[in-house]
Amino acid sequence: MQTALDAQLTHLFQATRTIAIVGLSPDPAKASFGVAVYLKQFYRVIPVNPNYTVILDEPCYPDLKSVPIRIDMIDVFQRSDRMPGFERDALDLQPLCFWMQLGIEHPDVAASLQAQRIQVIQDRCTKIDHQRLNAQGYL
């Protein structure tokens, strides 16, 4: 039987079509690259990094507000202290989820987004959770 969190994550992954990966690096040695390569098998991955114009053969945008299509999930690879810098864009864009990768947490930003009905996941990896749920037959 699925835990409540796993049921929540399963629903989220099933409802998601587009994932903006903030801080995506074109360097294959970086965690963000490996996560993006994996997720790209299942979703439209939108790179967000002001230092590049293309990553993984996809147009790369300098910031979230520049992305011209609906974002279902914002997946962030940035330090915890940088989370407030993404809060306004997340509130404006109203994604299904604002996901902070392993080691990233910000209780104040999480509370602000949750108050506007944006699901927040902190200190977890999208690739690890998706692979696990997929292997268990939930996705």
pTM above 0.85, yes or no: yes
Cα distance between residue 4 and residue 95, in whole Å: 21
Residue 44 reports pLDDT greater than 90: yes
- Candidates 24, 98, 34; CA nearest to 58 is 24
The pLDDT, as a whole number, for residue 67 is 98
The pLDDT, as a whole number, for residue 51 is 98
What length is written for the chain? 139
Q: Provide the token pair at 37.
A: 């390569």
Q: How far is CA 121 from the centre of its chain?
A: 9
Cα distance between residue 20 and residue 132, in whole Å: 21
What's the mean pLDDT in 34-48? 98
Residue 1 reports pLDDT greater than 90: no
